[in-house]
Structure 1
Amino acid sequence: MPPIDAHCHASPLWYEPVEVLLFQMDRGGVEKAVLTQLLGQFHNDYQQECVKRFPTRLASVGAVDPQALDAPQQVRKWAGRGMVGLRLRPDARSPAGDPFAIWRAAADAGLAISCAGPTALFLSEGFAELAAAFPHMPFILEHLGGWVRPDCDRSDASWQAILALARLANVSMKIAALGQLAPRPISQRLPEAPPILDDAEGARLIQALDAFGAARLLWGSDFPVVSSREGYGNALAWTRALFADRPPAEADAIFRGNAQRIFFGDRP
């Protein structure tokens, strides 16, 4: 089955418009994609417009300002317009009397949470308590739990702590932005075959699979940022190569099934 890209971005004002994403998807044989709102942006009209134009190919994970007094109402509004997920940092809290109001609104609307931020936030007691408070709401950690971010403490202890988050049954992980772990060596000639992710870093994906299980990993391209690193095609090819020796059912879940279930549901 063709893959679903669980993490990508499109905008007419920053990055690239959706038509460029669709070109890369078609070129790579990717059938569907989950548009993920840019951090700090809360106008979800463009993403919803894209979903309306391409309903069989796109889903929208939007964003709402958690500090806005009407944040819960905004969540309900966008969910009513077809938004299937909400992008939030683990430390997002609502003002006034209920700090979890925005999280509660997302849970009531049946949304999945695309969780952005540094690893330190995911490893805090607050995040574990948050996930436990909403056990039926999916929390999907972006970018290997922040491991690919340059501000991550890339110690073995930190990585093991990320893997330990698998104890939270409603927490999943996106495999995206692997190119941040494999910068192009400028002084070397590129190989004629597609470049392969460093073995040590590639092994982390197998460790993530062993910890979370295939039902809680989702592949994403991180388009269009990926275009300044390994490129869309390599983002897919590298990850596929790493899981090539695993049972086909596991790869089907990682590259398609989980994103279909969480973000598209019964939509064809």
Structure 2
Amino acid sequence: MSLSITSTIRLSSGHHIPLLGFGVYQNYDSKTSVLEAFKVGYRHVDSAQAYRNEAHVGAAVHESGLKRSDVFITTKIISKYHGYESTLKGVDESLERFGFDYIDMFLIHDPYSGTERRLDTYRALLDTKSTGKIRSVGVSNYGVKHLEEIRRAGLEMPAINQIELHPLCQQKPIVQYCRDNSIVIQAYSPILRGQMDHEVFKSVATKYKRDPAQILLRWSLQKGFVPLPKSATAARIYSNAQLYDFELEEEDMTRLDALDRGKDGAITWNPVDAD
């Protein structure tokens, strides 16, 4: 599997997303962190309205010297603000905070608002895409039933579903549904928020002379996911991107695959079963 930090995958929208993303959840110095990530080679940043750092991410893009077209920026709208008109308003507010003419990917952050408001929000994002304010539409924390309601409504399927994914929480039914429907799978909390003391993680890391985070991120890439590691530490931002001069052997992928605990393995809110 030949991969590099510049590797991308084509979305159903026709746009390409870098396979390695940089998350900024709970990062309160995100401009500095994003600038550091750009120096390392990241070109994909995952933000959200609820993170309250869109302006900082936008400032980093503007100060980086990179072309806007060279970076892929994601944001999200949380259920508190779901609804057709509120979503249209929210997109404009995000654009203003970022200082952008367009946003690459806009996700529904969670499914907690119920079927009607979820679909109204999704329709608003699709309509906004048609005007060019956003390039691609996706969802986050969506289970199969939430994805199915989009299909049953006769709407185009999301380009992305961003869910918690790591060896302890593999969400296999959702992953299979996404693969069957050409939905790219993003993995948040791919390094378990630093909870990487499992003996298998340490054993595989020792074998490859790597740290556990690099093993988990490489596993995610080899599974075909788009992992979103986050850090505010320059050394960790760098090391989390050093994933391309080794490949996990099949036996080690199998060892990591065998750790799946289903929902019990989740370490975050993971609202994929919300009504």
Question: Is TM-score (shorter-chain normalized) higher than 0.5?
Answer: yes
Q: Deviations over 1:106-131 (max 9, x none)?
A: 112224345333xxx423x1222225
Q: Which position in structure 1 is the counterpart of 2:103?
A: 83
- For residue 37 of structure 1, the aligned residue among 35, 48, 51 is 48
Q: Structure 2 matches for 1:114-263, cutoff 5 A?
A: 115-117=139-141, 121-123=142-144, 125-130=145-150, 133-135=154-156, 137-138=158-159, 140-142=160-162, 145-148=163-166, 152=169, 158-169=171-182, 171-175=183-187, 177-180=189-192, 183-184=196-197, 191=206, 193-195=209-211, 206=222, 208-209=223-224, 217-218=225-226, 220-224=227-231, 231-238=236-243, 241-242=246-247
Shift of 1:235: 3.2
Tell me what 1:108 maps to.
Answer: 127
From the superposition, tell whether residues 42 and 100 of structure 1 become closer, same or farther in structure 2 (CA, over 3 Å). farther
Aligned equivalents of 1:177 and 1:75: distance in 2? 25
Structure 1 gap ranges (5+): 210-216, 246-268
Quote the offset at 1:24 in angstroms. 4.1
Structure 1 residue 21 and structure 2 residue 40: aligned?
no
Aligned length: 215
TM-score by length of 1: 0.57
Q: What's the CA shift string for 1:180-216, capped at 9, x where partnerless?
A: 2971469x8985932367989976754x44xxxxxxx
Residue in structure 1 matched with residue 260 of structure 2 by the alignment? none
Query: Is the alpha carbon distance of 1:41 and 1:91 closer, same or farther for their aligned partners in structure 2, counting shifts above 3 Å?
Result: same
TM-score normalised over the length of structure 2 = 0.56
> 1:107, 1:137 within 8 Å by CA — same for their partners in 2?
no
Q: 1:234 to 1:73 in 2, by over 3 A?
A: same
Match of 2:21 in 1: 7
In the other structure, the counterpart of 1:48 is 58
Residues 107 and 138, structure 2, Cα contact 8 Å, conserved in 1: yes
How far is 1:172 from its partner?
Answer: 0.4
Deviation at 1:178, TM superposition (A): 3.3
Task: Report the AA paired with residue 179 of structure 1.
Answer: I
Unaligned 5+ segments in structure 2 are 7-17, 251-275
When residues 65 and 161 of structure 1 are mapped into structure 2, their CA distance, relative to the original with a 3 A threshold, is closer
Q: How large is the Cα RMSD of the aligned pairs? A: 4.6
Residue from 66, 69, 75 that aligns with 1:62: 75
The 1-side partners of 2:86 and 2:124 are apart by 11
| Residue 201 to residue 135, structure 1, CA distance change in 2 (3 Å) | same
Distance in 2 separating the partners of 1:195 and 1:102: 41
State the AA in 2 paired with 1:146.
E
1:224: how far off?
Answer: 1.5
Deviations 1:38-78 (A, max 9, x none): 6x346733333333333525443223344436222222454
Mark the CA change 1:107 to 1:182 in structure 2 (over 3 Å): closer, same or farther.
Answer: same
Structure 2 vs 1, CA of residues 130 and 83 (structure 1 numbering), >3 Å: closer, same or farther? same
Identity of aligned residues (%): 6
Whole-angstrom CA distance in 2 between matches of 1:175 and 1:242: 19
Q: C-alpha distance in 2, partners of 1:6/1:199?
A: 14
